[in-house]
Amino acid sequence: MSVRPGATVSAARRRTATIAALVALSALVAACSPSSSAPEAQSGPSSSASPTPDKPDVTITSNLPGAGTVHVDATVKLTAEQGAFDTVAVTTARGNKPLEGKLSDDKLTWVAADRLEPGTRYRIKAVAHDTHGRSLTENKTFRTDPLSLDQQTFPSIAPLQGETVGVGMPVIVTFDVAVTDKKAIEKHLHVTNTAGQKGAWHWISDHEVHWRPESYWKAGNDVTVNADINSIPAGNGVYGQLSRTTSFHVGDAMISKVNVQTHEMKVFRNGTLLRTIPISAGKPGFITRSGVKVIIEKFRHKRMDAATTGIKKSSPEYYNLANVEYAMRVTYSGEFLHAAPWSVGTQGSQNTSHGCVGMSTENAKWLFDLSRRGDVVEVTGSDRHMTLTNGYGDWNESFTDWRQGSALS
């Protein structure tokens, strides 16, 4: 069979086109196949990269203001919501002194057990987790109000730490800056004792408060006084400057009973009569006060100047004795028990003093050596009466009346 020239050329062109197509296809397949020498295209993150963690659900809030300083009487409280605390630490920014606190059993709240100090910056670091175990750390700082010394009141306590006192000694707390919010302060004044004696506070003034048991202390009692007033409001923008605690011991029950009419003093120790002493008490115009007195202080030698009791130097009653021995003060107004060798001739029979109880030097030394602050002197026989504030006059009110002097009564 013969072939037409045109048909032969067409077939050849088709073969050429087919070969070209195969070459092109081969090149395209090669371009799409991975090559050990060619880097892969990085169009996104690798499938092996860790996913971004979710934000924890737990939140930490506090009762602190969002701005400004914090009052020193504030109690810091932190709360974990939708989770629970792992740790909470609140410290001063300087010195890292901890603010003690307590985490609740369910670990949802933390409440400070200590009160804040004035003008101090605090740092909070709290760590909490949510129900999925995801953790949150909260860091926060705050500053407390600064206070001047005139805005803080300092408590002084008597008796002193470790002192042994008599059975009539009251607990005395004095404040250098006036207390006008007496209720707030008194709530933080506490007295405990090993004998379990009950008592009450009585405010003498804005600067002084006393505590006494219903009856005299029991001999051998141990007493602790806690004035826990640091940062407690005392009124008029004043706060307690710091808290103080002291403990003292009650010694023997030394009670001296003075009768200004019979001119004698009977001295008892723990209920036993030790000695009856002839005395000379206050003469007319200077009558010794009747009532319960307590030894305030003791002096081996004491200058006694009548001017301190209001007697003028021009008065015939004026005196100025430089070396009175064995003197024990029982009133602020100037009554003492002391040696009076100049009146031995009238002791036991006549009252010749300016209000003091005088005795022989021998008897005065004997009593002085046995006595201590807080011992009781009970005076009878005159119509001039002891007052509550003229010394430690606490026992001259019934306990019912005494309790009315408490701000919490």
Lowest-confidence segment of 35-49, 114-128, 356-370 by average pLDDT: 35-49
Q: How many helices (H) and strands (E) does the chain have?
A: 4, 27
Instruction: Check: CB of residue 317 under 8 Å from CB of residue 309.
Output: no
**CA dist 55 to 133, 187, 201, Å?**
11, 46, 56
Instruction: Check: CB of residue 62 under 8 Å from CB of residue 79.
Output: yes
> How much is the pLDDT for 2?
38
Nearest residue to 229 (alpha-carbon basis) of 166, 177, 160, 167: 177
Asked whether residue 47 carries a pLDDT value surpassing 60, the answer given is no
Question: How does pLDDT run across 278-331, given as a tens digit for each residue?
Answer: 999 999 999 999 999 999 999 999 999 999 888 999 999 999 999 999 999 999
Q: Which domains are assigned to the chain?
A: 59-143 (2.60.40.3780), 149-251 (2.60.40.3710), 254-399 (2.40.440.10)
Whether residue 32 lies in the annotated active site: no
Nearest residue to 69 (alpha-carbon basis) of 139, 126, 124, 116: 116
> What gap in Å lies between CA 409 and CA 405, rounded to an integer?
7
Whether residue 338 lies in the annotated active site: yes
> What gap in Å lies between CA 80 and CA 374, rounded to an integer?
54
Instruction: Name the token pair of 382.
Output: 């005159």
Confidence grade of residue 53 (pLDDT, cut at 50, 70, 90) = low
Asked whether residue 5 carries a pLDDT value surpassing 50, the answer given is no
Lowest-confidence segment of 46-55, 139-148, 163-172, 186-195 by average pLDDT: 46-55
Confidence grade of residue 20 (pLDDT, cut at 50, 70, 90) = very low
Number of alpha carbons in the 13 Å side-chain half-sphere of residue 409:
14
Q: Which of 202, 210, 338, 354 is the catalytic position?
A: 338
Quick check: helix, strand or coil at residue 346? coil
Q: What is the helix (H) or strand (E) element at residue 211, kind and residue range?
A: strand 208-213
> How much is the pLDDT for 95?
81
- Quickly tell me which residue has 């430690």 as its tokens: 392
Question: How does pLDDT run across 229-270, given as a tens digit for each residue?
Answer: 999 999 999 999 999 999 999 999 999 999 999 999 999 999
How far is C-alpha 323 from the geometric centre of its chain's CA atoms?
Answer: 43
> How much is the pLDDT for 332?
97
Q: Which of 129, 210, 263, 356 is the catalytic position?
A: 356
Asked whether residue 12 carries a pLDDT value surpassing 50, the answer given is no
- Quickly tell me which residue has 């006059």 as its tokens: 393
Question: How does pLDDT run across 82-118, given as a tens digit for each residue?
Answer: 999 999 999 999 888 999 999 999 999 999 999 999 9
| Strand ordering across the sheet containing 59-62 | 59-62, 77-81, 109-112, 101-103
Asked whether residue 333 carries a pLDDT value surpassing 60, the answer given is yes
